[in-house]
Structure 1
Amino acid sequence: MATTKELSVEDKLRALYDLQLIDSRIDEIRNVRGELPLEVEDLEDEVAGLSTRLEKFKLDLVSIEDQIKAKKNAIEEHQAAIKRYTEQQKNVRNNREFNSLTKEVEFQELEIQLAEKQIKEMKASIEHKKEVISSSKEKLEQKSTHLKHKKAELNDIMSETQKEETFLTEKSSEYEALIEERLLAAYKRIRKSVINGLAVVSIERGASAGSFFTIPPQTQVEIAARKKIITDEHSGRILVDAALADEEKEKMQNLFSKI
Protein backbone atom coordinates (compact mmCIF):
# COMPACT_ATOMS: atom_id res chain seq x y z
CA MET A 1 0.00 0.00 0.00
CA ALA A 2 1.13 3.58 -0.67
CA THR A 3 2.42 5.75 2.17
CA THR A 4 0.38 8.68 3.47
CA LYS A 5 2.39 11.24 1.50
CA GLU A 6 1.79 9.43 -1.82
CA LEU A 7 -1.99 9.27 -1.39
CA SER A 8 -4.10 11.30 -3.80
CA VAL A 9 -7.36 12.85 -2.60
CA GLU A 10 -9.22 9.93 -4.17
CA ASP A 11 -6.99 7.45 -2.33
CA LYS A 12 -7.62 9.32 0.90
CA LEU A 13 -11.38 9.18 0.31
CA ARG A 14 -11.19 5.46 -0.43
CA ALA A 15 -9.08 4.84 2.69
CA LEU A 16 -11.50 6.90 4.79
CA TYR A 17 -14.55 5.10 3.45
CA ASP A 18 -12.86 1.69 3.90
CA LEU A 19 -12.01 2.66 7.49
CA GLN A 20 -15.63 3.69 8.01
CA LEU A 21 -16.92 0.34 6.68
CA ILE A 22 -14.52 -1.56 8.95
CA ASP A 23 -15.35 0.53 12.02
CA SER A 24 -19.08 0.22 11.31
CA ARG A 25 -18.71 -3.55 11.18
CA ILE A 26 -16.89 -3.47 14.54
CA ASP A 27 -19.74 -1.31 15.89
CA GLU A 28 -22.26 -3.95 14.73
CA ILE A 29 -20.34 -6.70 16.50
CA ARG A 30 -20.18 -4.69 19.71
CA ASN A 31 -23.86 -3.82 19.46
CA VAL A 32 -24.65 -7.55 19.40
CA ARG A 33 -22.98 -7.79 22.81
CA GLY A 34 -24.97 -4.72 23.84
CA GLU A 35 -24.96 -4.10 27.57
CA LEU A 36 -23.92 -7.68 28.43
CA PRO A 37 -20.33 -6.85 29.47
CA LEU A 38 -21.64 -4.10 31.78
CA GLU A 39 -24.37 -6.39 33.11
CA VAL A 40 -21.77 -9.07 33.89
CA GLU A 41 -19.52 -6.50 35.57
CA ASP A 42 -22.41 -5.12 37.67
CA LEU A 43 -23.46 -8.64 38.69
CA GLU A 44 -19.88 -9.53 39.64
CA ASP A 45 -19.73 -6.41 41.85
CA GLU A 46 -23.10 -7.26 43.38
CA VAL A 47 -22.11 -10.88 44.10
CA ALA A 48 -18.83 -9.71 45.63
CA GLY A 49 -20.71 -7.16 47.77
CA LEU A 50 -23.23 -9.77 48.96
CA SER A 51 -20.44 -12.23 49.78
CA THR A 52 -18.60 -9.59 51.82
CA ARG A 53 -21.83 -8.63 53.61
CA LEU A 54 -22.57 -12.28 54.37
CA GLU A 55 -19.10 -12.84 55.83
CA LYS A 56 -19.50 -9.72 57.99
CA PHE A 57 -22.81 -11.01 59.39
CA LYS A 58 -21.20 -14.36 60.19
CA LEU A 59 -18.36 -12.61 62.03
CA ASP A 60 -20.95 -10.48 63.88
CA LEU A 61 -22.68 -13.69 65.02
CA VAL A 62 -19.43 -15.10 66.39
CA SER A 63 -18.72 -11.79 68.15
CA ILE A 64 -22.20 -11.65 69.74
CA GLU A 65 -21.97 -15.28 70.86
CA ASP A 66 -18.60 -14.50 72.47
CA GLN A 67 -20.19 -11.51 74.23
CA ILE A 68 -23.01 -13.74 75.52
CA LYS A 69 -20.45 -16.18 76.93
CA ALA A 70 -18.64 -13.29 78.61
CA LYS A 71 -21.94 -12.06 80.12
CA LYS A 72 -22.79 -15.57 81.39
CA ASN A 73 -19.33 -15.81 82.97
CA ALA A 74 -19.91 -12.40 84.58
CA ILE A 75 -23.26 -13.59 85.95
CA GLU A 76 -21.53 -16.58 87.52
CA GLU A 77 -18.99 -14.22 89.09
CA HIS A 78 -21.76 -11.96 90.41
CA GLN A 79 -23.60 -15.01 91.84
CA ALA A 80 -20.41 -16.17 93.52
CA ALA A 81 -19.95 -12.67 94.97
CA ILE A 82 -23.55 -12.71 96.29
CA LYS A 83 -22.92 -16.06 97.92
CA ARG A 84 -19.71 -14.73 99.46
CA TYR A 85 -21.31 -11.52 100.75
CA THR A 86 -24.30 -13.47 102.13
CA GLU A 87 -21.91 -15.74 104.05
CA GLN A 88 -20.04 -12.71 105.36
CA GLN A 89 -23.31 -11.24 106.65
CA LYS A 90 -23.55 -14.13 109.10
CA ASN A 91 -20.38 -12.96 110.80
CA VAL A 92 -20.85 -9.19 110.91
CA ARG A 93 -20.30 -7.31 114.14
CA ASN A 94 -22.70 -4.42 113.58
CA ASN A 95 -25.53 -3.08 111.41
CA ARG A 96 -23.19 -0.85 109.40
CA GLU A 97 -21.21 -3.87 108.12
CA PHE A 98 -24.47 -5.76 107.49
CA ASN A 99 -25.95 -2.86 105.50
CA SER A 100 -22.73 -2.44 103.54
CA LEU A 101 -22.78 -6.12 102.55
CA THR A 102 -26.49 -5.85 101.72
CA LYS A 103 -25.70 -3.00 99.31
CA GLU A 104 -22.98 -5.14 97.69
CA VAL A 105 -25.48 -7.99 97.27
CA GLU A 106 -28.03 -5.59 95.75
CA PHE A 107 -25.38 -4.20 93.41
CA GLN A 108 -24.43 -7.71 92.26
CA GLU A 109 -28.12 -8.55 91.71
CA LEU A 110 -28.53 -5.39 89.60
CA GLU A 111 -25.46 -6.38 87.58
CA ILE A 112 -26.99 -9.84 87.03
CA GLN A 113 -30.29 -8.29 85.88
CA LEU A 114 -28.44 -5.98 83.50
CA ALA A 115 -26.37 -8.84 82.10
CA GLU A 116 -29.51 -11.00 81.65
CA LYS A 117 -31.23 -8.12 79.85
CA GLN A 118 -28.19 -7.67 77.57
CA ILE A 119 -28.07 -11.43 76.86
CA LYS A 120 -31.76 -11.33 75.93
CA GLU A 121 -31.13 -8.40 73.56
CA MET A 122 -28.10 -10.11 72.02
CA LYS A 123 -30.05 -13.34 71.49
CA ALA A 124 -32.75 -11.30 69.69
CA SER A 125 -29.99 -9.70 67.61
CA ILE A 126 -28.67 -13.17 66.75
CA GLU A 127 -32.11 -14.29 65.55
CA HIS A 128 -32.44 -11.16 63.42
CA LYS A 129 -28.98 -11.61 61.93
CA LYS A 130 -29.73 -15.28 61.20
CA GLU A 131 -32.82 -14.18 59.25
CA VAL A 132 -30.75 -11.60 57.35
CA ILE A 133 -28.05 -14.21 56.67
CA SER A 134 -30.68 -16.62 55.35
CA SER A 135 -32.19 -14.02 52.98
CA SER A 136 -28.69 -12.84 51.95
CA LYS A 137 -27.67 -16.42 51.14
CA GLU A 138 -30.79 -16.86 49.03
CA LYS A 139 -30.15 -13.57 47.21
CA LEU A 140 -26.49 -14.48 46.70
CA GLU A 141 -27.45 -17.83 45.19
CA GLN A 142 -29.93 -16.15 42.83
CA LYS A 143 -27.41 -13.50 41.75
CA SER A 144 -24.64 -16.09 41.35
CA THR A 145 -26.88 -18.23 39.13
CA HIS A 146 -27.89 -15.15 37.10
CA LEU A 147 -24.22 -14.18 36.77
CA LYS A 148 -23.32 -17.69 35.60
CA HIS A 149 -25.97 -17.54 32.86
CA LYS A 150 -24.96 -14.03 31.77
CA LYS A 151 -21.29 -15.03 31.63
CA ALA A 152 -22.16 -18.07 29.53
CA GLU A 153 -24.23 -15.85 27.21
CA LEU A 154 -21.38 -13.36 26.89
CA ASN A 155 -18.80 -16.10 26.33
CA ASP A 156 -20.94 -17.58 23.55
CA ILE A 157 -21.14 -14.22 21.80
CA MET A 158 -17.45 -13.53 22.38
CA SER A 159 -16.42 -16.91 20.97
CA GLU A 160 -18.50 -16.23 17.86
CA THR A 161 -17.26 -12.69 17.27
CA GLN A 162 -13.85 -12.37 18.93
CA LYS A 163 -11.88 -13.65 15.94
CA GLU A 164 -13.68 -11.30 13.55
CA GLU A 165 -13.41 -8.32 15.90
CA THR A 166 -9.67 -8.90 16.42
CA PHE A 167 -9.10 -9.15 12.67
CA LEU A 168 -11.16 -6.01 11.96
CA THR A 169 -9.48 -4.04 14.76
CA GLU A 170 -6.09 -4.83 13.21
CA LYS A 171 -7.40 -3.79 9.77
CA SER A 172 -8.81 -0.58 11.25
CA SER A 173 -5.33 0.26 12.58
CA GLU A 174 -3.79 -0.51 9.17
CA TYR A 175 -6.18 1.87 7.40
CA GLU A 176 -5.73 4.53 10.07
CA ALA A 177 -1.99 4.44 9.33
CA LEU A 178 -2.74 5.37 5.70
CA ILE A 179 -4.61 8.54 6.65
CA GLU A 180 -2.86 11.76 7.59
CA GLU A 181 -3.16 12.74 11.24
CA ARG A 182 -5.31 15.84 10.70
CA LEU A 183 -7.83 13.98 8.56
CA LEU A 184 -7.91 10.99 10.91
CA ALA A 185 -8.52 13.29 13.89
CA ALA A 186 -11.45 14.88 12.02
CA TYR A 187 -12.85 11.44 11.18
CA LYS A 188 -12.69 10.33 14.82
CA ARG A 189 -14.17 13.59 16.05
CA ILE A 190 -17.15 13.28 13.68
CA ARG A 191 -17.65 9.62 14.63
CA LYS A 192 -17.93 10.56 18.29
CA SER A 193 -20.35 13.38 17.61
CA VAL A 194 -22.95 11.32 15.71
CA ILE A 195 -25.18 8.60 17.18
CA ASN A 196 -24.59 5.97 14.47
CA GLY A 197 -20.83 6.56 14.25
CA LEU A 198 -20.97 7.39 10.53
CA ALA A 199 -18.31 10.00 9.76
CA VAL A 200 -18.00 9.19 6.01
CA VAL A 201 -21.16 8.75 3.95
CA SER A 202 -22.06 8.46 0.29
CA ILE A 203 -24.47 10.53 -1.79
CA GLU A 204 -27.84 8.82 -2.16
CA ARG A 205 -30.64 10.38 -4.27
CA GLY A 206 -28.94 13.74 -4.18
CA ALA A 207 -28.53 13.84 -0.38
CA SER A 208 -25.93 12.57 2.07
CA ALA A 209 -26.83 9.10 3.38
CA GLY A 210 -29.12 9.28 6.39
CA SER A 211 -29.86 12.96 5.78
CA PHE A 212 -32.83 14.77 4.27
CA PHE A 213 -30.73 17.73 3.20
CA THR A 214 -30.13 17.86 -0.54
CA ILE A 215 -26.59 18.36 -1.80
CA PRO A 216 -26.42 21.11 -4.48
CA PRO A 217 -25.73 19.74 -8.00
CA GLN A 218 -22.45 21.66 -8.31
CA THR A 219 -21.25 20.16 -4.99
CA GLN A 220 -22.24 16.69 -6.19
CA VAL A 221 -20.10 17.23 -9.29
CA GLU A 222 -17.16 18.26 -7.09
CA ILE A 223 -17.62 15.21 -4.86
CA ALA A 224 -17.70 12.93 -7.90
CA ALA A 225 -14.48 14.56 -9.20
CA ARG A 226 -12.66 13.34 -6.05
CA LYS A 227 -10.26 16.29 -6.12
CA LYS A 228 -10.87 17.56 -2.59
CA ILE A 229 -12.34 16.50 0.74
CA ILE A 230 -15.89 17.84 0.99
CA THR A 231 -18.10 17.73 4.09
CA ASP A 232 -21.86 17.99 4.51
CA GLU A 233 -22.56 21.52 5.76
CA HIS A 234 -25.43 20.25 7.94
CA SER A 235 -23.92 17.16 9.64
CA GLY A 236 -20.20 17.77 9.12
CA ARG A 237 -19.80 14.27 7.67
CA ILE A 238 -17.23 13.62 4.95
CA LEU A 239 -18.93 12.92 1.62
CA VAL A 240 -18.04 10.43 -1.13
CA ASP A 241 -19.82 9.69 -4.40
CA ALA A 242 -22.04 6.63 -4.78
CA ALA A 243 -19.80 4.92 -7.36
CA LEU A 244 -16.75 5.08 -5.08
CA ALA A 245 -18.87 3.85 -2.17
CA ASP A 246 -20.16 0.86 -4.14
CA GLU A 247 -16.64 -0.11 -5.22
CA GLU A 248 -15.30 0.05 -1.66
CA LYS A 249 -18.32 -1.79 -0.24
CA GLU A 250 -17.68 -4.67 -2.66
CA LYS A 251 -13.99 -4.69 -1.75
CA MET A 252 -14.74 -4.72 1.98
CA GLN A 253 -17.39 -7.42 1.60
CA ASN A 254 -14.78 -9.62 -0.01
CA LEU A 255 -12.47 -8.87 2.91
CA PHE A 256 -15.13 -9.62 5.52
CA SER A 257 -16.12 -12.88 3.82
CA LYS A 258 -12.58 -14.22 4.28
CA ILE A 259 -12.74 -13.99 8.06
Structure 2
Amino acid sequence: MAKKTEATVEEKLRTLYDLQLIDSRIDEIRNVRGELPLEVEDLEDEVEGLKTRLEKLNGNLEEITHEISNKKNLIEEAKVSIKKYTEQQKNVRNNREFNSLSKEIEFQELEIELAEKHIKEFKVQIEQKKEVISQTKERLSERENHLKHKKGELDDILKETEKEEKALMNMSIEHEELIEERLLGAYKRIRSSVKNGLAVVAIERGASGGSFFTIPPQVQMEIASRKKIITDEHSGRILVDPTLAEEEKQKMEDIFASV
Protein backbone atom coordinates (compact mmCIF):
# COMPACT_ATOMS: atom_id res chain seq x y z
CA MET A 1 0.00 0.00 0.00
CA ALA A 2 1.17 3.53 -0.72
CA LYS A 3 2.67 5.70 2.01
CA LYS A 4 0.37 8.00 3.96
CA THR A 5 1.52 11.10 2.11
CA GLU A 6 0.90 9.48 -1.28
CA ALA A 7 -2.44 7.85 -0.47
CA THR A 8 -5.42 8.87 -2.58
CA VAL A 9 -8.77 9.67 -0.99
CA GLU A 10 -10.05 6.29 -2.18
CA GLU A 11 -7.13 4.51 -0.54
CA LYS A 12 -7.76 6.43 2.67
CA LEU A 13 -11.43 5.47 2.59
CA ARG A 14 -10.62 1.81 1.95
CA THR A 15 -8.08 1.73 4.81
CA LEU A 16 -10.52 3.50 7.12
CA TYR A 17 -13.32 1.11 6.26
CA ASP A 18 -10.99 -1.88 6.71
CA LEU A 19 -10.03 -0.53 10.14
CA GLN A 20 -13.72 -0.18 10.97
CA LEU A 21 -14.37 -3.79 9.96
CA ILE A 22 -11.44 -4.99 12.07
CA ASP A 23 -12.48 -2.96 15.12
CA SER A 24 -16.10 -4.09 14.72
CA ARG A 25 -14.91 -7.70 14.65
CA ILE A 26 -12.97 -7.09 17.89
CA ASP A 27 -16.13 -5.55 19.37
CA GLU A 28 -18.10 -8.68 18.43
CA ILE A 29 -15.57 -10.92 20.17
CA ARG A 30 -15.68 -8.79 23.30
CA ASN A 31 -19.48 -8.72 23.21
CA VAL A 32 -19.45 -12.52 23.26
CA ARG A 33 -17.57 -12.32 26.54
CA GLY A 34 -20.09 -9.70 27.62
CA GLU A 35 -20.25 -9.13 31.35
CA LEU A 36 -18.51 -12.42 32.18
CA PRO A 37 -15.15 -10.89 33.26
CA LEU A 38 -16.98 -8.49 35.60
CA GLU A 39 -19.20 -11.29 36.90
CA VAL A 40 -16.12 -13.40 37.66
CA GLU A 41 -14.45 -10.46 39.40
CA ASP A 42 -17.56 -9.75 41.50
CA LEU A 43 -17.88 -13.42 42.45
CA GLU A 44 -14.19 -13.58 43.44
CA ASP A 45 -14.71 -10.53 45.69
CA GLU A 46 -17.84 -12.09 47.20
CA VAL A 47 -16.07 -15.40 47.87
CA GLU A 48 -13.17 -13.59 49.57
CA GLY A 49 -15.66 -11.58 51.63
CA LEU A 50 -17.46 -14.74 52.76
CA LYS A 51 -14.16 -16.42 53.68
CA THR A 52 -13.16 -13.39 55.75
CA ARG A 53 -16.57 -13.41 57.45
CA LEU A 54 -16.24 -17.13 58.19
CA GLU A 55 -12.81 -16.60 59.75
CA LYS A 56 -14.21 -13.82 61.93
CA LEU A 57 -17.19 -15.93 63.00
CA ASN A 58 -14.97 -18.89 63.89
CA GLY A 59 -12.72 -16.51 65.82
CA ASN A 60 -15.74 -15.21 67.76
CA LEU A 61 -16.80 -18.80 68.45
CA GLU A 62 -13.39 -19.60 69.91
CA GLU A 63 -13.52 -16.47 72.08
CA ILE A 64 -16.96 -17.42 73.45
CA THR A 65 -15.84 -21.02 74.10
CA HIS A 66 -12.81 -19.65 75.94
CA GLU A 67 -15.09 -17.38 78.01
CA ILE A 68 -17.26 -20.38 78.98
CA SER A 69 -14.14 -22.22 80.07
CA ASN A 70 -13.11 -19.24 82.20
CA LYS A 71 -16.55 -19.06 83.81
CA LYS A 72 -16.48 -22.80 84.59
CA ASN A 73 -13.07 -22.37 86.21
CA LEU A 74 -14.45 -19.43 88.20
CA ILE A 75 -17.36 -21.63 89.38
CA GLU A 76 -14.98 -24.39 90.49
CA GLU A 77 -12.81 -21.86 92.34
CA ALA A 78 -15.91 -20.39 94.00
CA LYS A 79 -17.04 -23.87 95.12
CA VAL A 80 -13.62 -24.53 96.63
CA SER A 81 -13.82 -21.17 98.45
CA ILE A 82 -17.33 -21.93 99.74
CA LYS A 83 -16.15 -25.30 101.05
CA LYS A 84 -13.19 -23.63 102.74
CA TYR A 85 -15.31 -20.86 104.32
CA THR A 86 -17.90 -23.40 105.45
CA GLU A 87 -15.19 -25.42 107.22
CA GLN A 88 -13.81 -22.24 108.79
CA GLN A 89 -17.26 -21.40 110.18
CA LYS A 90 -17.07 -24.51 112.35
CA ASN A 91 -14.09 -23.08 114.20
CA VAL A 92 -15.10 -19.43 114.64
CA ARG A 93 -14.80 -17.78 118.04
CA ASN A 94 -17.58 -15.22 117.69
CA ASN A 95 -20.59 -14.10 115.61
CA ARG A 96 -18.60 -11.40 113.83
CA GLU A 97 -16.22 -13.98 112.32
CA PHE A 98 -19.17 -16.24 111.44
CA ASN A 99 -21.07 -13.41 109.73
CA SER A 100 -17.94 -12.32 107.87
CA LEU A 101 -17.48 -15.86 106.51
CA SER A 102 -21.20 -16.04 105.67
CA LYS A 103 -20.83 -12.90 103.56
CA GLU A 104 -17.86 -14.46 101.75
CA ILE A 105 -19.91 -17.61 101.11
CA GLU A 106 -22.84 -15.50 99.86
CA PHE A 107 -20.52 -13.53 97.58
CA GLN A 108 -19.08 -16.76 96.10
CA GLU A 109 -22.60 -18.13 95.59
CA LEU A 110 -23.52 -14.93 93.73
CA GLU A 111 -20.37 -15.31 91.63
CA ILE A 112 -21.45 -18.87 90.75
CA GLU A 113 -24.98 -17.71 89.91
CA LEU A 114 -23.68 -14.89 87.71
CA ALA A 115 -21.15 -17.18 85.98
CA GLU A 116 -23.88 -19.76 85.27
CA LYS A 117 -26.09 -16.99 83.85
CA HIS A 118 -23.23 -15.88 81.58
CA ILE A 119 -22.56 -19.48 80.49
CA LYS A 120 -26.23 -19.82 79.47
CA GLU A 121 -25.99 -16.57 77.49
CA PHE A 122 -22.74 -17.70 75.87
CA LYS A 123 -24.30 -21.04 74.90
CA VAL A 124 -27.19 -19.19 73.20
CA GLN A 125 -24.62 -17.04 71.37
CA ILE A 126 -22.74 -20.20 70.30
CA GLU A 127 -25.91 -21.69 68.82
CA GLN A 128 -26.60 -18.43 66.98
CA LYS A 129 -23.01 -18.23 65.71
CA LYS A 130 -23.12 -21.87 64.58
CA GLU A 131 -26.31 -21.17 62.64
CA VAL A 132 -24.74 -18.13 60.95
CA ILE A 133 -21.55 -20.13 60.26
CA SER A 134 -23.61 -22.93 58.70
CA GLN A 135 -25.49 -20.44 56.50
CA THR A 136 -22.23 -18.69 55.54
CA LYS A 137 -20.56 -22.02 54.65
CA GLU A 138 -23.56 -22.94 52.52
CA ARG A 139 -23.47 -19.55 50.79
CA LEU A 140 -19.70 -19.81 50.30
CA SER A 141 -19.99 -23.27 48.77
CA GLU A 142 -22.76 -22.08 46.42
CA ARG A 143 -20.78 -18.98 45.34
CA GLU A 144 -17.56 -21.01 44.87
CA ASN A 145 -19.40 -23.46 42.61
CA HIS A 146 -20.95 -20.56 40.70
CA LEU A 147 -17.52 -18.92 40.38
CA LYS A 148 -16.01 -22.18 39.11
CA HIS A 149 -18.78 -22.44 36.51
CA LYS A 150 -18.37 -18.81 35.37
CA LYS A 151 -14.58 -19.12 35.23
CA GLY A 152 -15.00 -22.22 33.09
CA GLU A 153 -17.30 -20.31 30.74
CA LEU A 154 -14.85 -17.41 30.52
CA ASP A 155 -11.85 -19.70 29.99
CA ASP A 156 -13.65 -21.52 27.16
CA ILE A 157 -14.51 -18.23 25.44
CA LEU A 158 -10.98 -16.90 25.92
CA LYS A 159 -9.49 -20.08 24.45
CA GLU A 160 -11.76 -19.75 21.43
CA THR A 161 -11.18 -16.06 20.83
CA GLU A 162 -7.79 -15.14 22.36
CA LYS A 163 -5.75 -15.98 19.28
CA GLU A 164 -8.15 -14.24 16.89
CA GLU A 165 -8.47 -11.16 19.09
CA LYS A 166 -4.69 -10.82 19.38
CA ALA A 167 -4.27 -11.12 15.60
CA LEU A 168 -7.04 -8.57 15.02
CA MET A 169 -5.54 -6.15 17.55
CA ASN A 170 -2.22 -6.30 15.69
CA MET A 171 -4.06 -5.83 12.40
CA SER A 172 -5.88 -2.80 13.83
CA ILE A 173 -2.59 -1.22 14.91
CA GLU A 174 -1.07 -1.84 11.48
CA HIS A 175 -4.02 -0.16 9.77
CA GLU A 176 -3.93 2.79 12.18
CA GLU A 177 -0.31 3.39 11.18
CA LEU A 178 -1.43 3.77 7.56
CA ILE A 179 -3.91 6.53 8.40
CA GLU A 180 -2.89 10.15 8.85
CA GLU A 181 -3.10 11.41 12.42
CA ARG A 182 -5.92 13.94 11.86
CA LEU A 183 -8.15 11.39 10.12
CA LEU A 184 -7.39 8.68 12.68
CA GLY A 185 -8.22 11.11 15.48
CA ALA A 186 -11.56 11.89 13.85
CA TYR A 187 -12.28 8.16 13.43
CA LYS A 188 -11.54 7.42 17.07
CA ARG A 189 -13.54 10.41 18.26
CA ILE A 190 -16.61 9.40 16.23
CA ARG A 191 -16.23 5.75 17.22
CA SER A 192 -16.15 6.57 20.93
CA SER A 193 -19.21 8.83 20.68
CA VAL A 194 -21.57 6.38 18.97
CA LYS A 195 -23.22 3.46 20.72
CA ASN A 196 -22.36 0.72 18.22
CA GLY A 197 -18.79 1.92 17.59
CA LEU A 198 -19.43 2.52 13.88
CA ALA A 199 -17.47 5.56 12.71
CA VAL A 200 -17.34 4.59 9.01
CA VAL A 201 -20.57 3.39 7.38
CA ALA A 202 -21.81 2.63 3.89
CA ILE A 203 -24.84 4.20 2.27
CA GLU A 204 -27.82 1.85 2.51
CA ARG A 205 -31.01 2.49 0.53
CA GLY A 206 -30.06 6.14 0.06
CA ALA A 207 -29.35 6.78 3.76
CA SER A 208 -26.36 6.61 6.09
CA GLY A 209 -25.99 3.07 7.45
CA GLY A 210 -28.19 2.65 10.52
CA SER A 211 -29.85 6.03 9.92
CA PHE A 212 -33.24 7.08 8.54
CA PHE A 213 -32.02 10.40 7.17
CA THR A 214 -31.88 10.31 3.37
CA ILE A 215 -28.72 11.59 1.73
CA PRO A 216 -29.33 13.91 -1.27
CA PRO A 217 -28.52 12.31 -4.66
CA GLN A 218 -25.84 14.94 -5.37
CA VAL A 219 -24.02 14.03 -2.13
CA GLN A 220 -24.38 10.31 -2.93
CA MET A 221 -22.66 10.95 -6.26
CA GLU A 222 -19.83 12.82 -4.50
CA ILE A 223 -19.39 9.89 -2.11
CA ALA A 224 -19.33 7.42 -5.01
CA SER A 225 -16.67 9.51 -6.79
CA ARG A 226 -14.31 8.95 -3.84
CA LYS A 227 -12.68 12.33 -4.37
CA LYS A 228 -13.12 13.62 -0.85
CA ILE A 229 -14.00 12.37 2.61
CA ILE A 230 -17.64 13.16 3.40
CA THR A 231 -19.38 12.85 6.75
CA ASP A 232 -23.06 12.42 7.54
CA GLU A 233 -24.42 15.79 8.68
CA HIS A 234 -26.73 14.10 11.22
CA SER A 235 -24.48 11.48 12.88
CA GLY A 236 -21.02 12.78 11.97
CA ARG A 237 -20.03 9.35 10.63
CA ILE A 238 -17.66 9.03 7.67
CA LEU A 239 -19.53 7.76 4.61
CA VAL A 240 -18.45 5.31 1.90
CA ASP A 241 -20.33 4.09 -1.15
CA PRO A 242 -21.94 0.61 -1.16
CA THR A 243 -19.64 -0.80 -3.85
CA LEU A 244 -16.46 0.09 -1.97
CA ALA A 245 -18.00 -1.26 1.23
CA GLU A 246 -18.93 -4.57 -0.36
CA GLU A 247 -15.46 -4.99 -1.91
CA GLU A 248 -13.71 -4.33 1.40
CA LYS A 249 -16.11 -6.56 3.34
CA GLN A 250 -15.38 -9.47 1.04
CA LYS A 251 -11.65 -8.84 1.24
CA MET A 252 -11.66 -8.60 5.04
CA GLU A 253 -13.93 -11.62 5.47
CA ASP A 254 -11.35 -13.70 3.59
CA ILE A 255 -8.62 -12.32 5.88
CA PHE A 256 -10.68 -12.97 9.03
CA ALA A 257 -11.31 -16.54 7.91
CA SER A 258 -7.58 -17.16 7.69
CA VAL A 259 -6.83 -15.80 11.18
Q: TM-score, normalised by structure 1?
A: 0.93
**Match of 1:66, as an amino acid?**
H
2:171 maps to what in 1?
A: 171
Distance 2:226 2:14 in 1: 10
- CA deviation string 1:119-144 (max 9, x = no partner): 11111111111112222222222221
- Assess, with a 3 A threshold, how the Cα gap between structure 1 residues 96 and 5 changes in structure 2: closer, same or farther: farther
1:244, distance to aligned residue in structure 2 (A): 1.4
1:104, distance to aligned residue in structure 2 (A): 2.0
Distance 1:83 1:64 in 2: 29
1:11, distance to aligned residue in structure 2 (A): 2.0
1:138 maps to what in 2?
A: 138
- Assess, with a 3 A threshold, how the Cα gap between structure 1 residues 234 and 85 changes in structure 2: closer, same or farther: same
**Match of 2:135, as an amino acid?**
S
**Match of 1:109, as an amino acid?**
E
Q: How does 1:89-104 map to 2 (within 5 A)?
A: 89-104=89-104
1:234, distance to aligned residue in structure 2 (A): 0.8
Distance 2:248 2:29 in 1: 20
1:82, distance to aligned residue in structure 2 (A): 1.9
| Misfit runs of 4+, over 4 Å | none
Distance 1:105 1:186 in 2: 92
Stretch of structure 1 that moved more, 198-207 or 99-108: 99-108
**Match of 2:216, as an amino acid?**
P
Q: How does 1:1-259 map to 2 (within 5 A)?
A: 1-259=1-259
1:4, distance to aligned residue in structure 2 (A): 2.9
- Find the residue that maps to 1:203 and give its secondary structure: strand
Q: CA RMSD in A?
A: 1.6
**Match of 1:171, as an amino acid?**
M
1:216, distance to aligned residue in structure 2 (A): 1.4
- CA deviation string 1:39-92 (max 9, x = no partner): 222222222222221222222211211111111111112222222222333333
- Find the residue that maps to 1:29 and give its secondary structure: helix
**Match of 1:178, as an amino acid?**
L
Stretch of structure 1 that moved more, 196-205 or 80-89: 80-89
Distance 1:92 1:106 in 2: 17
Identity of aligned residues (%): 72
How many residue pairs match? The answer is 259
Distance 1:109 1:189 in 2: 83
- Assess, with a 3 A threshold, how the Cα gap between structure 1 residues 219 and 81 changes in structure 2: closer, same or farther: same
- CA deviation string 1:117-171 (max 9, x = no partner): 1111111111111112222222222221222122112211111111111111111
1:225, distance to aligned residue in structure 2 (A): 2.3
1:107, distance to aligned residue in structure 2 (A): 1.7
Q: TM-score, normalised by structure 2?
A: 0.93
1:255, distance to aligned residue in structure 2 (A): 0.7
Distance 2:221 2:36 in 1: 45
- Find the residue that maps to 1:2 and give its secondary structure: coil
Distance 1:90 1:65 in 2: 38
Can you give the 5+ residue segments of structure 2 that lack an aligned partner in the other structure? Answer: none
**Match of 2:78, as an amino acid?**
H
Can you give the 5+ residue segments of structure 1 that lack an aligned partner in the other structure? Answer: none
**Match of 2:138, as an amino acid?**
E
**Match of 1:107, as an amino acid?**
F
1:252, distance to aligned residue in structure 2 (A): 0.6
**Match of 2:251, as an amino acid?**
K
